Structure 1
Amino acid sequence: MPARIVQIFLPENQIGQLETILPRHTRRFWRESVPGEHEKYSCIVQQRYTERLLVDLDEAFGHIPSFTTYVAELEAVLPPLQENADTELPLSRDLPPPTWLERFFSRDRLSTDEIYDDIEDSLKLRPSYLLTVTLSAIIAGLGMRSGQTAVVIGAMIIAPLLGPTMGLALAATVGNWKLGSQAMVTLAVGSALSVLAGIAIGVIATIDPLTPELRNRTLVQPSDVALALACGGAGVLAFSRGASLSLVGVMVAVALVPPLTAAGIYTGAGYPAAGANALFLFTVNLVCVNVAGILTFLFQGLPPKSWRMTASIILVWLLILTLLMSMMAGTIFLDIGSWDSLIGNIAPAE
């Protein structure tokens, strides 16, 4: 049973209000005296109740400068907390009870604050991030050039674009413009470095444009849209449950870094039209990952600040996706910008 230990430090004159809040979110809590005019409360909270407890605490005591709350994961609890419909704690507001579907998909989700903490550090443009993006693109590019799929997947374990991509979806879900702009800048810088690394490979190394691992990054099919949507949804599900970042990174990055690097390789090797096709695949994948990510966050019960704002952002992403799919349909049915019409007359390198 996923649970958290929540420690609350509060002035003595506020403990009366706190003791009316805690029973709505936890069955086990205790009070300790600490030096000064504060009291410490420790409580064991089931993971699915952590979100609403933190919201209530912030609304009640967020204006108090000395108020502090810490949240940590628990490995085991004895005696165990029973989690079923009979032991479910009531909602803290006059809201309808959650449906079985909402209860099922939100029961193991990390709280919004925990998700923020996991993403925040990865949105900073540190030297380590720049170096990691460059190295992962080089590894992926060399793997595609030699046709080694395992090397390409191995490069994605580094997961350099995971944080910015998840940050963009999270910002759109909760309506946080500051987080969204920071994620967008970090993602743009990482994408540019991936393309530049690919260009360097294309200029320095001998490239066979018909290598399947490269050529596949210039073709956009309906299956690619389905794959990117699945990657976005699965990535958010794993991320919001605290799964291994390497696992989540492979899900998301495999749809982003290889097309970017392939675009740079083709451009550096003198095939700019093929490079443009690879960038088109990256754009489709990025839009699909964000659409699926936002919908998955919402499906898990992540609370938006403004439903109107979140719905507007989703609508914009869907309109962009519709436009891209129309372009993809033109490529497939009208043979516009297809591989054969671009460099189909090139023989494979000996």
Structure 2
Amino acid sequence: MAARKVQVYLPEERVAQLETILAKHSRRFWRETVPGGQEKYTCVVQQRYTERLLDELESAFADEPDFTAHVELLQAVLPPVEENSETELLLAGDIKPPTALERFFIRDRLSTDEIYDDIEESLHISTSYLLTVTLSAIIAGLGMRSEQTAVVIGAMVIAPLLGPTMGMALAATVGNRQLGWQAFRTMVVGCVLAILAGWVLGLIVDIDPQVPELFNRTLVQPDDVALALACGAAGVLAFSRGVSSALVGVMIAVALVPPLAASGLYLGAGYPAEGADALFLFAVNLVCVNIAGIATFLFQGLPPKSWRLTGSVLAMWALLLLLLVSMMAGSLLLDIGELKLALP
């Protein structure tokens, strides 16, 4: 992912401004006249310059009704477009040079628009999404019931909640309220459906509530917090670099799908306390994944539209995590106290 091909369509009277912008962000661009009174410019852009080029194009031409920009991944370029300090373009006076930390984190990241396009497709409540959530929950529930870890992993690979989870983190990072609401709505529908699927399964089959693969989803330990934080960070890192969604799904679904399926399974089988504990684990994991996701997006240089909004959302998630961790600590202390009273 060393380079992108960016195609821009504009009326002829705006090409002078466009050429000035392209010269700041690309080494090669060429012009072509197309039907409809427009000019088409195609340029080869290094990966690290794609974000700032798209930002400046949007700022300059957002009010132009005939403006269109396309971004495509280039598998190979001859002569090659190298990603190193020697190939850096000279910065114009209105472009702030990136720090060493920013350059390190954004050098192989997809642009914000590319990440948005990848995520946006999975935020629609479609028939496919509903079926995928249902099947994933059933697979996870049956796998935990029969202690078949490989089956549970199968539910993780399906990863129906991957898109909404990443969408919520991305929306909070860049301050996109519409994207955040859409991701939240899709997440809620998916969670309710997963619990219902597990509940129906619990009504049909007999379960042993002490089966380790299932019972472990009712326990919330400090290492579960660390696991969820790692899942969120790893998921964003892989997603923002275009890694296969199946791999990302393994990292994310391990913290989300099994607890939901376990909660429904316990509720359907008549174990409400265990069902609530599994739901509590899901809540801890969801909060941690979002905190780690937002932080990782910020470290990668995604530009927030409003630091106040992004900071407020991050603070809200942090307060929720603090509350949940306090409840977890209180439960652990209560269990220890009951154990001491039970000892002779």
Using structure 1 for the length normalisation, give the TM-score.
0.94
1:291 deviates by: 0.1
Q: CA RMSD in A?
A: 1.5
1:97 deviates by: 2.2
Which structure 2 residues correspond to residues 2-151 of structure 1 after superposition, within 5 A?
2-91=2-91, 94=94, 96-151=96-151
1:271 deviates by: 0.7
- Code of the residue aligned with 1:110 in structure 2: it is L
Q: Could you say which residue in structure 2 is the equivalent of 1:227?
A: 227
Report which stretch shifted further, 277-286 or 75-84. 75-84
Q: Could you say which residue in structure 1 is the equivalent of 2:160?
A: 160
Q: Could you say which residue in structure 2 is the equivalent of 1:273?
A: 273
Structure 1 distance, partners of 2:15, 2:116, is: 28
Q: Could you say which residue in structure 2 is the equivalent of 1:286?
A: 286
Structure 1 distance, partners of 2:75, 2:176, is: 32
Deviation track 1:5-61 (CA, whole Å, cap 9, x = no partner) reads 011111111111011100111101111122232111110111111111011111111
Structure 2 distance, partners of 1:151, 1:102, is: 41
Which structure 2 residues correspond to residues 178-257 of structure 1 after superposition, within 5 A?
178-257=178-257
Alpha carbons of structure 1 residues 209 and 315: separation in structure 2 relative to 1, 3 Å:
same
- Code of the residue aligned with 2:80 in structure 1: it is P
**Is the partner of 2:138 in helix, strand or coil?**
helix
Q: Does the CA-based 8 Å contact 1:330-1:336 persist in structure 2?
A: no
Structure 2 distance, partners of 1:189, 1:159, is: 15
1:249 deviates by: 1.1
Deviation track 1:134-155 (CA, whole Å, cap 9, x = no partner) reads 0010001000000011110111
Structure 1 distance, partners of 2:93, 2:56, is: 10
Structure 2 distance, partners of 1:58, 1:64, is: 10
Deviation track 1:118-146 (CA, whole Å, cap 9, x = no partner) reads 11121111111001100010001000000
1:93 deviates by: 5.8
**Is the partner of 1:305 in helix, strand or coil?**
coil
**Is the partner of 1:102 in helix, strand or coil?**
helix
Q: Could you say which residue in structure 2 is the equivalent of 1:343?
A: none
Report which stretch shifted further, 22-31 or 89-98. 89-98
Q: Does the CA-based 8 Å contact 2:2-2:82 persist in structure 1?
A: no
> Which ranges in structure 1 are unaligned for 5 or more consecutive residues?
341-350
Q: Could you say which residue in structure 2 is the equivalent of 1:295?
A: 295
Aligned residues: 339
1:82 deviates by: 2.5
1:94 deviates by: 3.8
Q: Does the CA-based 8 Å contact 1:232-1:289 persist in structure 2?
A: yes
1:4 deviates by: 0.7
Structure 1 distance, partners of 2:94, 2:213, is: 55
Alpha carbons of structure 1 residues 247 and 321: separation in structure 2 relative to 1, 3 Å:
same
- Code of the residue aligned with 2:244 in structure 1: it is S
Using structure 2 for the length normalisation, give the TM-score.
0.95
**Is the partner of 1:86 in helix, strand or coil?**
helix
Q: Does the CA-based 8 Å contact 1:173-1:297 persist in structure 2?
A: yes
Deviation track 1:176-196 (CA, whole Å, cap 9, x = no partner) reads 111111111110010001101
Report which stretch shifted further, 263-272 or 94-103. 94-103
Report which stretch shifted further, 96-105 or 178-187. 96-105
Q: Does the CA-based 8 Å contact 1:331-1:337 persist in structure 2?
A: no
The question of 1:325 aligning with 2:334 is answered: no
Higher helix share: 2
